[in-house]
Structure 1
Amino acid sequence: MRVVSWNIHWGCGRDGRIRIHAIIDVLRKLNPDVICLQEVAANHPELEGSASASQFKQLAGAFGGYHMIEQAPSEIYRNNLPRQFGNLLLSKYRITQAQRHMLPWPVDPEHPAGMPRGMIETVLEAPGGKLRVLTTHLEYYSPMQRRAQIARIRELHEEACARAAVYQPDPALEPPFQLGFRPGTAIYCGDFNFGPDSEDYRALLAPASSGALGLVDAWRVHHGDIPRAPTAGLHGFKWPEKPGCYDYFFVTEDLAGRVSDMSVQSETSASDHQPIVLDLN
């Protein structure tokens, strides 16, 4: 099973031009089973390069054999036309459930501007059994908001593990209640906007509550103490000032033994972030 996560910067490359086909070409070469994207835009001509097309539709059309779940936490209307910005998940595997979580956005007087953040959650029928795949893009400017979002992710994870321990599908219920099994086993990925030596990183990976599956960093599982490859700051983009790691795969501890590779694709300059790839056996 191969999962790719990528903050695509609305397809805007280092030359300031939008080439969504370059994003598509990279993804096709990586040949993932599941694609998790952040900073997907629609009807945003004011963004650098003019992201006026619906990239949600463009990407879904380019991967017709995949099932799509989209989420635009930022949805602003102008002349009744939605300007959307958010996350996209595409899966070759059958999706049995999907939830679109809005993450906390508490008022921060020090950073009054910003945008709402969200997380896509799916339950997939993967070859190794059902698991959840979740993708998100956390706050960058406000540490307070980012900490609240991390706390909510942990809360949602512990809730899912607790529900998995007691829930069994019941076909006798009315259709909206006929949810299938939602396992605790999960892959969390995306642009978390924190470094691997930060307090935020440690907070996300703190020991889980009783009965919940712990989360581990897939890079550390596979590479140990080998220095982490940067996921942004390459190819001469204005941001960040120096190469660093902002993008991650976190997996539940029961998946740690299945991590066969976790890599960063550093060659492409199609975005200010690099695609990251997780392989499970």
Structure 2
Amino acid sequence: MRILSWNVQYGKSVHNGSDFVRTLDYIKSLGDFDAICLQEVARHMSDYCTQDQPDQYLLAQKYFSNYQGLWGSGFSWPSATMNPNDRQEFGNLTLIKNQLLDFKIHQLPQPAAPGKWQMPRVAIEACVNSNLGPLSIINTHLAYHDSNEAQLQVEHLYALEVERLGQIQSPKGQGPGCFQTGHVPSARILCGDFNFDPQGTHYQYQVNSDWIDSWQHSLPNKAQPPTCGIFDRDQWPQGGHCRDYFWLSHELTTHSINVNVDQTTDLSDHQPIILEINF
């Protein structure tokens, strides 16, 4: 299984303006994927969308017509157009090629943070068919401006994992209609832009919560590569550093895992990261 995660910064290149089609072309050039998890995708937002590309979700759907698109935005506001369907939205997009068994949009906590910038955020959970059974892939983008907000968000995501393990250990009863058992994931992958580095307290919380950092698992003696700030020194004056990850549940650690970062493209302030798992 091959999965891409990338904060695409709504198609804004570090040096050459905004063009979401260019971003989609680049993703295609990276080869075939079972799942594509993108963060910072925009719809009908004049701050982020060009006039000829007003809906980046629909553009991605056209470019990847053999994938099923799962869209999650933390908000949906009226746009400046007269069309009530043209909603201003900003969030995550997951494109699934494998059989989709189930999906959910999880709204992440947004506690009061007086005077700080906040954006409503979500996590898209796709449950797909795999050789391991039902597999959960969660695509998310955590808070940047408030540490407490980010902490509550990682705690929320961990609560979902505790819930999954509980369902496996103590299965619910089978009932009719909506009371069917559904598809309880046998393992989980959590990916995206987490907005914390490996030296931070949020990273340590993840490790203490039994999430496995795929890079540390596959290459434990090699330093974490930068996934952000390599080319964009205006937003990231500290230079290249890591804030994008693939976190794995323990069931996946017995399988062959490879993760790499594409450090060549400047089509975003973040870099694409690719996870490969052999079941």
TM-score (norm 2): 0.91
- Unmatched tracts of structure 2, length 5 or more: none
Instruction: Flag the 1:126–1:114 CA change in 2: closer, same or farther, 3 A.
Output: same
Instruction: Flag the 1:85–1:141 CA change in 2: closer, same or farther, 3 A.
Output: same
- Unmatched tracts of structure 1, length 5 or more: 208-213
Work out which of the residue numbers 245, 248, 251 in structure 2 matches 1:248: 245
Quick one: distance in 2 between partners of 1:167 and 1:250?
Answer: 25
Instruction: Flag the 1:184–1:157 CA change in 2: closer, same or farther, 3 A.
Output: farther
Q: Which residue of 1 aligns with 2:255?
A: 258
Write the letter of the residue equivalent to 1:108. A
Q: Is the 8 A contact 1:18 1:51 kept in 2?
A: no
In terms of fraction of residues, the more strand-rich structure is 1
Tell me whether 1:173 sits opposite 2:176 in the alignment.
Answer: yes
Alignment of 1:116-265 (within 5 A): 116-167=120-171, 170=174, 172-174=175-177, 176-207=178-209, 214-241=210-237, 242-265=239-262
Tell me whether 1:64 sits opposite 2:65 in the alignment.
Answer: yes
Please state whether the residue corresponding to 1:228 is helix, strand or coil: coil
Sequence identity (%): 28
TM-score (norm 1): 0.91
Structure 1 residue 227 displacement after superposition: 1.1
Write the letter of the residue equivalent to 1:226. K
Structure 1 residue 249 displacement after superposition: 0.3
Structure 1 residue 29 displacement after superposition: 2.4
Tell me whether 1:93 sits opposite 2:89 in the alignment.
Answer: no
Write the letter of the residue equivalent to 1:217. D
Aligned residues: 272
Structure 1 residue 51 displacement after superposition: 8.4
Instruction: Flag the 1:169–1:26 CA change in 2: closer, same or farther, 3 A.
Output: farther
Q: Is the 8 A contact 1:164 1:181 kept in 2?
A: no
Instruction: Flag the 1:179–1:271 CA change in 2: closer, same or farther, 3 A.
Output: farther
Structure 1 residue 75 displacement after superposition: 2.2
CA deviation digits over 1:211-241, x for unaligned, max 9?
xxx3100000111031111001122452211
Write the letter of the residue equivalent to 1:187. I
Structure 1 residue 205 displacement after superposition: 2.0
Q: Is the 8 A contact 2:15 2:266 kept in 1?
A: no
Write the letter of the residue equivalent to 1:239. Q
